Chain A
Amino acid sequence: MNTLSTEQDDVHGELMEISLGPHHPSTHGVFRMNITLDGEIVVKLKPVFGYLHRNHEKIAEGNTYLAAIPYTDRLDYLCSLTNNWAYVHAVETLAAIAVPERAECLRIILGELARIANHACLVGFLLNDLGTSFTPLLYSLRERERMLDLIEELTGSRMMCNFFRFGGLRSDIPEDWLQRLRTYLEGPFARFLDEQDALLSGNEILLARTQGVGILPPALAVQAGITGPMLRASGVPYDIRKVDQYSLYKRFEYKVPIGAHGDTYDRYMMRMLEMRESVKIIQQAMDALKNAQGSHIDPKARNQGLRPKAGEAYARMESPKGELGFHLVSDGSAKPYRFRIRPPSLINLTALEDICLGQTLADTVVILGSVDIVLGEVDR
Protein backbone atom coordinates (compact mmCIF):
# COMPACT_ATOMS: atom_id res chain seq x y z
CA MET A 1 0.00 0.00 0.00
CA ASN A 2 1.07 3.62 0.29
CA THR A 3 3.60 2.93 3.00
CA LEU A 4 5.61 0.65 0.78
CA SER A 5 8.43 2.23 -1.12
CA THR A 6 9.26 1.08 -4.58
CA GLU A 7 12.94 1.38 -3.81
CA GLN A 8 14.92 -1.54 -2.60
CA ASP A 9 15.48 -1.73 1.13
CA ASP A 10 16.66 -4.38 3.53
CA VAL A 11 13.25 -5.21 4.93
CA HIS A 12 11.18 -5.41 1.78
CA GLY A 13 13.63 -6.41 -0.86
CA GLU A 14 12.67 -5.99 -4.46
CA LEU A 15 9.16 -5.60 -5.75
CA MET A 16 8.13 -8.33 -8.14
CA GLU A 17 6.01 -7.82 -11.19
CA ILE A 18 4.04 -10.77 -12.44
CA SER A 19 1.69 -11.15 -15.33
CA LEU A 20 -1.27 -13.27 -14.28
CA GLY A 21 -2.99 -14.55 -17.39
CA PRO A 22 -4.15 -14.40 -20.13
CA HIS A 23 -3.71 -18.17 -19.99
CA HIS A 24 -4.39 -18.90 -16.39
CA PRO A 25 -7.25 -21.03 -15.08
CA SER A 26 -8.13 -18.60 -12.30
CA THR A 27 -8.76 -15.67 -14.64
CA HIS A 28 -11.97 -17.24 -16.01
CA GLY A 29 -10.91 -16.95 -19.61
CA VAL A 30 -8.32 -14.73 -21.19
CA PHE A 31 -8.24 -11.93 -18.68
CA ARG A 32 -4.81 -10.64 -17.72
CA MET A 33 -3.58 -8.68 -14.74
CA ASN A 34 -0.17 -7.12 -14.37
CA ILE A 35 0.40 -7.33 -10.65
CA THR A 36 3.21 -5.76 -8.68
CA LEU A 37 3.90 -7.67 -5.51
CA ASP A 38 5.75 -6.82 -2.35
CA GLY A 39 6.33 -10.30 -1.05
CA GLU A 40 2.81 -11.70 -1.13
CA ILE A 41 1.03 -8.35 -0.96
CA VAL A 42 -0.42 -6.65 -4.04
CA VAL A 43 0.81 -3.06 -4.37
CA LYS A 44 -0.34 -2.40 -7.91
CA LEU A 45 -2.72 -4.17 -10.26
CA LYS A 46 -3.38 -3.22 -13.84
CA PRO A 47 -5.93 -5.24 -15.79
CA VAL A 48 -5.22 -5.86 -19.48
CA PHE A 49 -8.19 -6.43 -21.76
CA GLY A 50 -8.85 -7.33 -25.34
CA TYR A 51 -7.64 -10.89 -25.79
CA LEU A 52 -11.14 -12.00 -26.79
CA HIS A 53 -12.06 -8.84 -28.66
CA ARG A 54 -13.88 -9.46 -31.91
CA ASN A 55 -15.62 -6.10 -32.31
CA HIS A 56 -19.09 -7.41 -31.83
CA GLU A 57 -20.46 -3.87 -32.17
CA LYS A 58 -19.00 -3.47 -35.65
CA ILE A 59 -20.33 -6.86 -36.73
CA ALA A 60 -23.80 -5.93 -35.50
CA GLU A 61 -23.70 -2.58 -37.30
CA GLY A 62 -23.14 -4.43 -40.56
CA ASN A 63 -26.05 -6.81 -40.03
CA THR A 64 -29.82 -6.55 -39.75
CA TYR A 65 -31.53 -6.14 -36.40
CA LEU A 66 -32.63 -9.77 -36.41
CA ALA A 67 -29.18 -11.10 -37.26
CA ALA A 68 -27.70 -9.46 -34.17
CA ILE A 69 -29.65 -11.72 -31.81
CA PRO A 70 -27.46 -14.83 -32.20
CA TYR A 71 -24.36 -12.69 -31.64
CA THR A 72 -25.67 -11.53 -28.29
CA ASP A 73 -25.65 -15.18 -27.18
CA ARG A 74 -21.90 -14.99 -27.36
CA LEU A 75 -21.52 -12.03 -25.02
CA ASP A 76 -21.98 -13.59 -21.64
CA TYR A 77 -22.17 -17.16 -22.74
CA LEU A 78 -23.17 -18.48 -19.33
CA CYS A 79 -26.58 -16.83 -19.54
CA SER A 80 -27.37 -16.13 -23.17
CA LEU A 81 -31.10 -15.91 -22.45
CA THR A 82 -30.77 -12.66 -20.52
CA ASN A 83 -28.48 -11.22 -23.22
CA ASN A 84 -31.10 -11.98 -25.84
CA TRP A 85 -33.68 -10.37 -23.63
CA ALA A 86 -31.71 -7.20 -23.02
CA TYR A 87 -31.15 -6.75 -26.74
CA VAL A 88 -34.74 -7.37 -27.83
CA HIS A 89 -35.83 -5.11 -24.97
CA ALA A 90 -33.73 -2.31 -26.47
CA VAL A 91 -35.08 -2.91 -29.97
CA GLU A 92 -38.62 -2.95 -28.61
CA THR A 93 -37.96 0.41 -26.94
CA LEU A 94 -36.45 1.78 -30.15
CA ALA A 95 -39.23 0.60 -32.44
CA ALA A 96 -42.13 0.74 -29.93
CA ILE A 97 -43.04 -2.94 -30.20
CA ALA A 98 -45.56 -4.30 -27.72
CA VAL A 99 -45.05 -7.63 -25.97
CA PRO A 100 -48.03 -9.82 -25.04
CA GLU A 101 -48.56 -10.75 -21.42
CA ARG A 102 -47.91 -14.44 -21.95
CA ALA A 103 -44.62 -13.71 -23.68
CA GLU A 104 -43.57 -11.49 -20.77
CA CYS A 105 -44.32 -14.28 -18.27
CA LEU A 106 -42.35 -16.79 -20.32
CA ARG A 107 -39.48 -14.31 -20.63
CA ILE A 108 -39.33 -13.88 -16.88
CA ILE A 109 -39.27 -17.65 -16.40
CA LEU A 110 -36.38 -18.02 -18.84
CA GLY A 111 -34.52 -14.96 -17.58
CA GLU A 112 -34.65 -16.13 -14.00
CA LEU A 113 -33.65 -19.64 -15.04
CA ALA A 114 -30.59 -18.12 -16.70
CA ARG A 115 -29.85 -16.21 -13.51
CA ILE A 116 -30.03 -19.38 -11.45
CA ALA A 117 -27.77 -21.24 -13.88
CA ASN A 118 -25.27 -18.37 -13.82
CA HIS A 119 -25.19 -18.05 -10.04
CA ALA A 120 -24.97 -21.81 -9.52
CA CYS A 121 -21.99 -21.81 -11.84
CA LEU A 122 -20.39 -18.82 -10.16
CA VAL A 123 -20.59 -20.32 -6.69
CA GLY A 124 -18.84 -23.42 -7.99
CA PHE A 125 -16.08 -21.54 -9.77
CA LEU A 126 -15.55 -19.20 -6.83
CA LEU A 127 -14.97 -22.22 -4.61
CA ASN A 128 -12.61 -23.60 -7.20
CA ASP A 129 -10.64 -20.36 -7.04
CA LEU A 130 -10.46 -20.84 -3.31
CA GLY A 131 -8.70 -24.12 -3.88
CA THR A 132 -11.46 -26.56 -2.97
CA SER A 133 -10.51 -28.73 -5.82
CA PHE A 134 -13.71 -29.58 -7.65
CA THR A 135 -16.25 -30.91 -5.16
CA PRO A 136 -18.50 -27.82 -4.93
CA LEU A 137 -17.82 -27.00 -8.57
CA LEU A 138 -18.95 -30.41 -9.72
CA TYR A 139 -22.11 -30.23 -7.63
CA SER A 140 -22.82 -26.86 -9.24
CA LEU A 141 -22.07 -28.03 -12.73
CA ARG A 142 -24.23 -31.10 -12.20
CA GLU A 143 -27.24 -28.89 -11.50
CA ARG A 144 -26.38 -26.46 -14.28
CA GLU A 145 -26.19 -29.43 -16.60
CA ARG A 146 -29.81 -30.31 -15.88
CA MET A 147 -30.91 -26.73 -16.42
CA LEU A 148 -29.00 -26.72 -19.70
CA ASP A 149 -30.74 -29.96 -20.65
CA LEU A 150 -34.07 -28.23 -20.18
CA ILE A 151 -32.90 -25.16 -22.09
CA GLU A 152 -31.56 -27.33 -24.88
CA GLU A 153 -34.83 -29.17 -25.20
CA LEU A 154 -36.62 -25.87 -25.60
CA THR A 155 -34.24 -23.75 -27.66
CA GLY A 156 -32.17 -26.37 -29.46
CA SER A 157 -28.89 -25.30 -27.97
CA ARG A 158 -27.39 -25.51 -24.52
CA MET A 159 -25.64 -22.17 -24.44
CA MET A 160 -26.32 -20.30 -27.68
CA CYS A 161 -30.07 -20.15 -27.22
CA ASN A 162 -31.10 -17.47 -29.72
CA PHE A 163 -34.64 -17.74 -28.41
CA PHE A 164 -35.96 -14.20 -27.99
CA ARG A 165 -37.57 -12.31 -30.84
CA PHE A 166 -38.86 -8.75 -31.11
CA GLY A 167 -42.32 -8.85 -29.60
CA GLY A 168 -41.97 -12.19 -27.85
CA LEU A 169 -40.21 -15.51 -28.18
CA ARG A 170 -39.25 -17.71 -31.10
CA SER A 171 -41.67 -20.44 -30.14
CA ASP A 172 -44.17 -21.17 -27.44
CA ILE A 173 -43.20 -23.16 -24.37
CA PRO A 174 -45.09 -26.43 -23.98
CA GLU A 175 -47.00 -27.04 -20.77
CA ASP A 176 -45.11 -30.23 -19.92
CA TRP A 177 -41.78 -28.43 -20.16
CA LEU A 178 -42.94 -25.88 -17.62
CA GLN A 179 -44.18 -28.67 -15.41
CA ARG A 180 -40.82 -30.42 -15.59
CA LEU A 181 -39.02 -27.19 -14.78
CA ARG A 182 -41.22 -26.72 -11.74
CA THR A 183 -40.66 -30.29 -10.57
CA TYR A 184 -36.95 -29.86 -11.04
CA LEU A 185 -36.74 -26.55 -9.18
CA GLU A 186 -38.85 -27.77 -6.30
CA GLY A 187 -37.16 -31.16 -6.08
CA PRO A 188 -33.50 -31.72 -6.98
CA PHE A 189 -32.62 -28.05 -7.22
CA ALA A 190 -34.07 -27.15 -3.83
CA ARG A 191 -32.09 -30.02 -2.35
CA PHE A 192 -28.94 -28.79 -4.12
CA LEU A 193 -29.38 -25.30 -2.68
CA ASP A 194 -29.81 -26.63 0.84
CA GLU A 195 -26.86 -28.95 0.46
CA GLN A 196 -24.60 -26.29 -1.02
CA ASP A 197 -25.56 -23.97 1.82
CA ALA A 198 -24.79 -26.64 4.40
CA LEU A 199 -21.58 -27.58 2.65
CA LEU A 200 -20.23 -24.08 2.19
CA SER A 201 -21.92 -21.19 3.97
CA GLY A 202 -20.79 -22.20 7.45
CA ASN A 203 -17.52 -23.78 6.47
CA GLU A 204 -14.72 -22.36 8.62
CA ILE A 205 -12.15 -22.39 5.84
CA LEU A 206 -14.45 -20.52 3.48
CA LEU A 207 -15.21 -17.96 6.18
CA ALA A 208 -11.52 -17.47 6.95
CA ARG A 209 -10.65 -16.98 3.30
CA THR A 210 -13.52 -14.70 2.30
CA GLN A 211 -14.69 -12.63 5.27
CA GLY A 212 -13.06 -9.22 5.31
CA VAL A 213 -11.31 -9.92 2.02
CA GLY A 214 -11.66 -7.46 -0.85
CA ILE A 215 -13.95 -4.96 0.82
CA LEU A 216 -15.72 -2.66 -1.62
CA PRO A 217 -17.13 0.41 0.15
CA PRO A 218 -20.59 1.48 -1.06
CA ALA A 219 -19.49 4.98 -2.07
CA LEU A 220 -16.76 3.59 -4.29
CA ALA A 221 -19.13 0.99 -5.73
CA VAL A 222 -21.59 3.67 -6.87
CA GLN A 223 -18.83 5.97 -8.10
CA ALA A 224 -17.21 3.21 -10.13
CA GLY A 225 -20.49 2.16 -11.72
CA ILE A 226 -20.54 -1.30 -10.19
CA THR A 227 -23.91 -2.99 -10.59
CA GLY A 228 -25.64 -6.25 -9.87
CA PRO A 229 -24.95 -8.56 -6.93
CA MET A 230 -21.57 -6.92 -6.41
CA LEU A 231 -23.17 -3.52 -5.76
CA ARG A 232 -25.83 -5.00 -3.51
CA ALA A 233 -23.20 -6.91 -1.52
CA SER A 234 -21.81 -3.49 -0.58
CA GLY A 235 -25.16 -2.58 0.91
CA VAL A 236 -26.62 -0.42 -1.86
CA PRO A 237 -30.22 -1.47 -2.49
CA TYR A 238 -30.35 -1.11 -6.25
CA ASP A 239 -31.90 -3.73 -8.45
CA ILE A 240 -33.02 -2.69 -11.92
CA ARG A 241 -35.91 -5.14 -11.76
CA LYS A 242 -37.27 -3.07 -8.86
CA VAL A 243 -36.19 0.36 -10.11
CA ASP A 244 -37.22 0.19 -13.77
CA GLN A 245 -40.03 -2.31 -13.23
CA TYR A 246 -39.61 -3.52 -16.76
CA SER A 247 -41.56 -6.51 -18.03
CA LEU A 248 -43.99 -7.78 -15.36
CA TYR A 249 -41.61 -7.73 -12.39
CA LYS A 250 -43.81 -5.40 -10.37
CA ARG A 251 -46.46 -8.10 -10.18
CA PHE A 252 -44.29 -10.58 -8.38
CA GLU A 253 -43.16 -10.62 -4.81
CA TYR A 254 -39.50 -11.17 -4.17
CA LYS A 255 -36.80 -9.76 -1.98
CA VAL A 256 -33.56 -8.20 -3.08
CA PRO A 257 -30.77 -9.47 -0.81
CA ILE A 258 -28.48 -6.73 0.51
CA GLY A 259 -25.03 -7.29 1.95
CA ALA A 260 -23.56 -5.51 4.95
CA HIS A 261 -19.81 -5.60 4.54
CA GLY A 262 -19.09 -5.63 0.81
CA ASP A 263 -16.51 -8.37 1.20
CA THR A 264 -16.06 -11.53 -0.82
CA TYR A 265 -18.25 -13.53 1.52
CA ASP A 266 -21.14 -11.11 1.05
CA ARG A 267 -20.74 -11.34 -2.70
CA TYR A 268 -20.87 -15.11 -2.42
CA MET A 269 -23.96 -14.95 -0.19
CA MET A 270 -25.73 -12.58 -2.60
CA ARG A 271 -25.66 -15.28 -5.24
CA MET A 272 -26.86 -18.00 -2.89
CA LEU A 273 -29.79 -15.85 -1.73
CA GLU A 274 -30.68 -14.57 -5.20
CA MET A 275 -31.06 -18.12 -6.47
CA ARG A 276 -33.77 -18.73 -3.87
CA GLU A 277 -35.54 -15.51 -4.83
CA SER A 278 -35.36 -16.40 -8.52
CA VAL A 279 -37.02 -19.74 -7.82
CA LYS A 280 -39.85 -17.83 -6.14
CA ILE A 281 -40.21 -15.53 -9.15
CA ILE A 282 -40.36 -18.49 -11.52
CA GLN A 283 -43.08 -20.14 -9.46
CA GLN A 284 -45.16 -16.96 -9.41
CA ALA A 285 -44.64 -16.42 -13.13
CA MET A 286 -45.84 -19.95 -13.82
CA ASP A 287 -48.99 -19.27 -11.82
CA ALA A 288 -49.50 -15.95 -13.61
CA LEU A 289 -49.16 -17.75 -16.93
CA LYS A 290 -52.51 -19.49 -16.46
CA ASN A 291 -54.43 -16.22 -16.79
CA ALA A 292 -52.01 -14.48 -19.14
CA GLN A 293 -53.44 -12.95 -22.29
CA GLY A 294 -52.01 -13.23 -25.76
CA SER A 295 -49.58 -15.67 -27.27
CA HIS A 296 -45.83 -16.15 -27.13
CA ILE A 297 -45.24 -13.41 -29.70
CA ASP A 298 -47.03 -10.32 -30.87
CA PRO A 299 -48.36 -11.31 -34.30
CA LYS A 300 -47.92 -7.75 -35.59
CA ALA A 301 -44.25 -7.56 -34.61
CA ARG A 302 -41.84 -7.64 -37.52
CA ASN A 303 -38.59 -9.48 -37.11
CA GLN A 304 -37.41 -9.83 -40.66
CA GLY A 305 -36.73 -6.52 -42.35
CA LEU A 306 -37.36 -4.42 -39.27
CA ARG A 307 -36.70 -0.72 -39.95
CA PRO A 308 -37.22 1.35 -36.82
CA LYS A 309 -37.93 5.06 -37.12
CA ALA A 310 -34.76 7.15 -37.00
CA GLY A 311 -33.88 7.86 -33.40
CA GLU A 312 -32.09 6.36 -30.48
CA ALA A 313 -32.87 4.27 -27.42
CA TYR A 314 -30.98 3.04 -24.40
CA ALA A 315 -32.61 0.18 -22.54
CA ARG A 316 -31.15 -1.80 -19.68
CA MET A 317 -31.90 -4.90 -17.69
CA GLU A 318 -30.75 -6.61 -14.55
CA SER A 319 -28.65 -9.41 -15.98
CA PRO A 320 -27.08 -11.92 -13.57
CA LYS A 321 -23.85 -9.92 -13.69
CA GLY A 322 -25.32 -6.44 -13.35
CA GLU A 323 -26.75 -3.79 -15.60
CA LEU A 324 -26.72 -5.03 -19.17
CA GLY A 325 -27.74 -2.22 -21.48
CA PHE A 326 -27.96 -1.73 -25.20
CA HIS A 327 -27.76 1.68 -26.82
CA LEU A 328 -29.13 1.58 -30.34
CA VAL A 329 -29.21 4.38 -32.88
CA SER A 330 -31.33 3.93 -35.96
CA ASP A 331 -31.07 5.96 -39.13
CA GLY A 332 -34.25 4.43 -40.51
CA SER A 333 -32.47 1.68 -42.42
CA ALA A 334 -32.53 -2.08 -41.82
CA LYS A 335 -29.18 -1.98 -40.01
CA PRO A 336 -28.47 -0.23 -36.72
CA TYR A 337 -26.37 2.92 -37.20
CA ARG A 338 -24.86 2.45 -33.76
CA PHE A 339 -25.00 -0.64 -31.62
CA ARG A 340 -23.46 -0.27 -28.22
CA ILE A 341 -23.36 -2.85 -25.45
CA ARG A 342 -22.96 -1.73 -21.88
CA PRO A 343 -21.12 -4.73 -20.47
CA PRO A 344 -21.54 -5.24 -16.71
CA SER A 345 -18.57 -7.59 -16.55
CA LEU A 346 -16.18 -4.95 -17.88
CA ILE A 347 -17.43 -2.06 -15.78
CA ASN A 348 -17.50 -4.17 -12.61
CA LEU A 349 -13.73 -4.47 -13.04
CA THR A 350 -13.23 -0.69 -12.76
CA ALA A 351 -12.62 -0.92 -9.03
CA LEU A 352 -10.68 -4.19 -9.12
CA GLU A 353 -7.38 -2.55 -8.30
CA ASP A 354 -8.85 -0.65 -5.36
CA ILE A 355 -10.28 -3.72 -3.70
CA CYS A 356 -7.20 -5.88 -4.33
CA LEU A 357 -4.56 -3.47 -2.96
CA GLY A 358 -3.08 -4.73 0.26
CA GLN A 359 -4.46 -8.22 -0.22
CA THR A 360 -2.37 -11.26 -0.97
CA LEU A 361 -1.99 -12.74 -4.41
CA ALA A 362 -4.09 -15.76 -3.46
CA ASP A 363 -6.88 -13.45 -2.32
CA THR A 364 -6.76 -11.54 -5.59
CA VAL A 365 -7.77 -14.72 -7.36
CA VAL A 366 -10.74 -15.15 -5.03
CA ILE A 367 -11.77 -11.50 -5.35
CA LEU A 368 -11.71 -11.75 -9.12
CA GLY A 369 -13.82 -14.90 -8.87
CA SER A 370 -16.38 -13.08 -6.74
CA VAL A 371 -16.67 -10.22 -9.25
CA ASP A 372 -18.10 -12.73 -11.72
CA ILE A 373 -16.78 -11.90 -15.15
CA VAL A 374 -17.20 -13.63 -18.47
CA LEU A 375 -14.60 -12.63 -20.99
CA GLY A 376 -16.98 -12.88 -23.91
CA GLU A 377 -18.69 -9.85 -22.43
CA VAL A 378 -15.63 -8.02 -21.10
CA ASP A 379 -13.86 -7.94 -24.44
CA ARG A 380 -16.83 -8.24 -26.81
Chain B
Amino acid sequence: MSTTSPEEILTHLLEKFPEGSVSLVKDTGSAMQHSLLLQHEKAVAIANTLRDDPQFRFDYCSNVTGMDWPKEGFLEAVYHLYSIEKKTAKPLILRMRTKGRDSKIPADLAMPSFTSVWRSCELQEREVYDLYGILYSSHPDLRRLLMWDEFQGHPMRKDYAPPAENPPAA
Protein backbone atom coordinates (compact mmCIF):
# COMPACT_ATOMS: atom_id res chain seq x y z
CA MET B 1 0.00 0.00 0.00
CA SER B 2 1.55 3.28 -1.03
CA THR B 3 1.14 6.43 0.97
CA THR B 4 -0.21 9.26 -1.11
CA SER B 5 -1.77 12.06 0.90
CA PRO B 6 0.59 14.78 2.14
CA GLU B 7 -0.68 14.31 5.70
CA GLU B 8 0.32 10.64 5.71
CA ILE B 9 3.67 11.41 4.14
CA LEU B 10 4.26 14.08 6.75
CA THR B 11 3.64 11.60 9.58
CA HIS B 12 6.07 9.14 8.02
CA LEU B 13 8.70 11.80 7.48
CA LEU B 14 8.45 13.06 11.05
CA GLU B 15 9.32 9.57 12.28
CA LYS B 16 12.71 9.93 10.61
CA PHE B 17 13.41 13.64 10.72
CA PRO B 18 13.40 16.13 13.61
CA GLU B 19 10.30 18.10 14.47
CA GLY B 20 10.09 21.34 12.51
CA SER B 21 12.11 20.23 9.50
CA VAL B 22 8.93 19.67 7.54
CA SER B 23 5.42 21.04 7.98
CA LEU B 24 2.11 21.01 6.14
CA VAL B 25 0.84 23.99 4.12
CA LYS B 26 -2.90 23.83 3.49
CA ASP B 27 -4.26 24.94 0.14
CA THR B 28 -7.36 27.08 0.56
CA GLY B 29 -8.59 26.65 -3.01
CA SER B 30 -11.01 24.21 -4.59
CA ALA B 31 -8.23 21.93 -5.81
CA MET B 32 -7.11 21.16 -2.23
CA GLN B 33 -3.52 20.53 -3.28
CA HIS B 34 -1.80 20.65 0.11
CA SER B 35 1.95 20.82 0.24
CA LEU B 36 4.91 20.21 2.52
CA LEU B 37 7.17 23.05 3.56
CA LEU B 38 10.79 22.00 4.02
CA GLN B 39 13.46 23.67 6.11
CA HIS B 40 16.76 24.10 4.29
CA GLU B 41 18.95 21.98 6.56
CA LYS B 42 17.21 18.65 6.04
CA ALA B 43 15.67 19.37 2.62
CA VAL B 44 18.05 17.31 0.48
CA ALA B 45 17.95 14.40 2.94
CA ILE B 46 14.14 14.47 2.90
CA ALA B 47 14.13 14.63 -0.89
CA ASN B 48 16.44 11.62 -1.07
CA THR B 49 14.15 9.73 1.29
CA LEU B 50 11.11 10.60 -0.79
CA ARG B 51 12.87 9.36 -3.91
CA ASP B 52 14.45 6.17 -2.54
CA ASP B 53 12.23 4.93 0.29
CA PRO B 54 10.17 2.03 -1.09
CA GLN B 55 6.97 3.35 0.48
CA PHE B 56 7.26 6.69 -1.39
CA ARG B 57 9.39 6.23 -4.54
CA PHE B 58 8.82 9.72 -5.88
CA ASP B 59 11.30 9.14 -8.68
CA TYR B 60 10.10 11.91 -10.97
CA CYS B 61 10.19 15.62 -10.24
CA SER B 62 7.90 17.12 -12.78
CA ASN B 63 7.76 20.82 -12.23
CA VAL B 64 9.65 23.56 -10.42
CA THR B 65 7.88 26.86 -9.92
CA GLY B 66 9.40 30.02 -8.55
CA MET B 67 7.18 32.47 -6.71
CA ASP B 68 7.59 35.94 -5.36
CA TRP B 69 5.78 37.08 -2.22
CA PRO B 70 6.75 40.71 -1.72
CA LYS B 71 4.30 41.30 1.14
CA GLU B 72 5.44 38.25 3.07
CA GLY B 73 9.02 39.11 2.16
CA PHE B 74 10.39 35.88 0.73
CA LEU B 75 10.89 33.95 -2.48
CA GLU B 76 9.51 30.49 -2.77
CA ALA B 77 10.22 27.44 -4.93
CA VAL B 78 7.56 24.78 -5.42
CA TYR B 79 8.34 21.24 -6.60
CA HIS B 80 5.75 18.84 -7.98
CA LEU B 81 6.71 15.21 -7.56
CA TYR B 82 5.15 12.11 -9.05
CA SER B 83 6.06 8.47 -8.88
CA ILE B 84 6.51 6.81 -12.24
CA GLU B 85 7.08 3.48 -10.53
CA LYS B 86 3.85 3.63 -8.52
CA LYS B 87 2.01 5.64 -11.17
CA THR B 88 0.58 8.22 -8.79
CA ALA B 89 -1.96 10.54 -10.34
CA LYS B 90 -1.78 13.23 -7.64
CA PRO B 91 1.35 15.30 -7.17
CA LEU B 92 3.28 15.57 -3.94
CA ILE B 93 4.12 19.24 -3.55
CA LEU B 94 7.21 20.47 -1.75
CA ARG B 95 7.94 24.08 -0.97
CA MET B 96 11.01 25.90 0.20
CA ARG B 97 11.34 29.55 1.15
CA THR B 98 14.25 31.94 1.26
CA LYS B 99 14.98 34.09 4.29
CA GLY B 100 14.42 37.33 2.44
CA ARG B 101 13.96 38.77 -1.00
CA ASP B 102 15.38 42.30 -1.07
CA SER B 103 18.49 41.51 0.90
CA LYS B 104 21.94 42.00 -0.61
CA ILE B 105 23.39 39.09 1.38
CA PRO B 106 23.50 35.98 -0.87
CA ALA B 107 22.69 33.67 2.04
CA ASP B 108 19.28 35.33 2.41
CA LEU B 109 18.37 34.41 -1.15
CA ALA B 110 19.82 30.93 -0.99
CA MET B 111 18.17 27.55 -0.84
CA PRO B 112 19.47 24.02 -1.42
CA SER B 113 19.20 22.66 -4.93
CA PHE B 114 17.43 19.40 -5.74
CA THR B 115 19.38 18.83 -8.96
CA SER B 116 21.47 16.18 -7.23
CA VAL B 117 18.28 14.31 -6.36
CA TRP B 118 16.28 14.80 -9.55
CA ARG B 119 18.17 15.93 -12.63
CA SER B 120 14.98 17.28 -14.15
CA CYS B 121 15.41 20.25 -11.80
CA GLU B 122 18.62 21.31 -13.52
CA LEU B 123 17.16 23.54 -16.21
CA GLN B 124 14.13 24.54 -14.19
CA GLU B 125 16.18 25.71 -11.21
CA ARG B 126 18.32 27.71 -13.58
CA GLU B 127 15.12 29.29 -14.85
CA VAL B 128 13.95 30.09 -11.32
CA TYR B 129 17.34 31.67 -10.58
CA ASP B 130 17.12 33.65 -13.80
CA LEU B 131 13.59 34.95 -13.37
CA TYR B 132 13.37 35.23 -9.56
CA GLY B 133 16.91 35.36 -8.26
CA ILE B 134 16.85 32.37 -5.92
CA LEU B 135 20.48 31.31 -5.41
CA TYR B 136 20.63 27.53 -5.38
CA SER B 137 23.60 26.79 -3.18
CA SER B 138 24.49 23.36 -4.54
CA HIS B 139 23.46 23.70 -8.18
CA PRO B 140 26.20 22.41 -10.51
CA ASP B 141 25.78 25.05 -13.19
CA LEU B 142 23.83 28.06 -11.97
CA ARG B 143 23.65 30.40 -14.97
CA ARG B 144 20.82 32.36 -16.48
CA LEU B 145 18.64 30.21 -18.70
CA LEU B 146 16.37 32.47 -20.71
CA MET B 147 17.77 35.96 -20.30
CA TRP B 148 21.26 36.80 -21.52
CA ASP B 149 24.19 36.67 -19.12
CA GLU B 150 24.69 40.42 -18.84
CA PHE B 151 21.06 41.02 -17.95
CA GLN B 152 20.42 42.84 -14.67
CA GLY B 153 17.52 42.02 -12.39
CA HIS B 154 14.97 39.23 -12.25
CA PRO B 155 12.01 39.94 -14.51
CA MET B 156 9.36 37.71 -12.94
CA ARG B 157 9.49 39.48 -9.59
CA LYS B 158 6.33 41.40 -8.93
CA ASP B 159 8.14 44.72 -8.52
CA TYR B 160 10.39 44.36 -11.55
CA ALA B 161 10.42 47.48 -13.68
CA PRO B 162 12.13 47.46 -17.07
CA PRO B 163 15.03 49.91 -17.34
CA ALA B 164 14.03 53.36 -18.52
CA GLU B 165 16.19 53.43 -21.65
CA ASN B 166 14.48 50.31 -22.87
CA PRO B 167 10.79 50.91 -22.24
CA PRO B 168 8.27 48.25 -23.23
CA ALA B 169 6.55 48.82 -26.57
CA ALA B 170 3.43 50.88 -26.00
Decide if A and B touch, CB cutoff 8 A.
yes
Q: Is the interface of B mostly helix, strand, loop or mixed?
A: loop
In chain A, positions 220-248 with a C-beta closer than 8 Å to chain B are 220, 222-227, 236, 238, 243-245
Q: How far is the CB of B47 from chain A (nearest CB, A)?
A: 13
Cβ of B107 < 8 Å from any Cβ of A? Answer: no
Q: How far is the CB of A365 from chain B (nearest CB, A)?
A: 21
Report whether A223 and B145 are in contact in the complex, using a CB–CB cutoff of 8 Å. no
Cβ of A209 < 8 Å from any Cβ of B? Answer: no
Among B31, B89, B146, which residue has its beta carbon within 8 angstroms of that of A96? B31
CB-CB under 8 A from A280, the residues of chain B are none
The 6 A-B residue pairs with the shortest CB-CB distance, nearest first, are A311-B29, A225-B120, A96-B30, A313-B31, A50-B146, A342-B63
CB-CB under 8 A from B61, the residues of chain A are 225
Report whether A245 and B155 are in contact in the complex, using a CB–CB cutoff of 8 Å. no
A-B contact pairs, 7 of them (CB 8 A): A225-B119, A310-B29, A311-B32, A311-B33, A312-B33, A342-B62, A349-B123
B contact set with A: CB distance below 8 Å: 27-33, 59-63, 65-67, 78, 80, 84, 87-89, 91, 93, 118-124, 131, 144-148, 155-156
A contact set with B: CB distance below 8 Å: 49-50, 53, 55, 57-58, 93-96, 220, 222-227, 236, 238, 243-245, 308-314, 316, 323, 325, 327, 329-330, 338, 340, 342, 346-347, 349-351, 379-380
Q: How far is the CB of B84 from chain A (nearest CB, A)?
A: 5
Q: Please, which residue of chain B has its CB at the minimum distance from the CB of A379?
A: B146
Among A222, A238, A340, A350, which residue has its beta carbon within 8 angstroms of that of B122? A350
CB-CB under 8 A from B31, the residues of chain A are 93-94, 96, 311-313
Q: How far is the CB of A95 from chain B (nearest CB, A)?
A: 6
Report whether B29 and A94 are in contact in the complex, using a CB–CB cutoff of 8 Å. yes
Distance A58 CA – B123 CA, assembled complex (angstroms) = 19
CB-CB under 8 A from B78, the residues of chain A are 327
Report whether B29 and A327 are in contact in the complex, using a CB–CB cutoff of 8 Å. no
Q: How far is the CB of A194 from chain B (nearest CB, A)?
A: 33
CB-CB under 8 A from A53, the residues of chain B are 146-147
CB-CB under 8 A from A347, the residues of chain B are 120, 123-124
Report whether A329 and B118 are in contact in the complex, using a CB–CB cutoff of 8 Å. no
Q: Please, which residue of chain B has its CB at the minimum distance from the CB of A224?
A: B119
Distance A346 CA – B33 CA, assembled complex (angstroms) = 25
Distance A325 CA – B65 CA, assembled complex (angstroms) = 11
Whether A309 contacts B29 in the complex (CB less than 8 A), given A50-B145, A244-B89, A245-B89, comes out as yes
CB-CB under 8 A from A310, the residues of chain B are 28-29
Q: How far is the CB of B26 from chain A (nearest CB, A)?
A: 9
Report whether A311 and B27 are in contact in the complex, using a CB–CB cutoff of 8 Å. yes
Report whether A311 and B65 are in contact in the complex, using a CB–CB cutoff of 8 Å. no
Q: Please, which residue of chain B has its CB at the minimum distance from the CB of A346?
A: B123
Whether A225 contacts B118 in the complex (CB less than 8 A), given A58-B155, A342-B62, A379-B146, comes out as yes
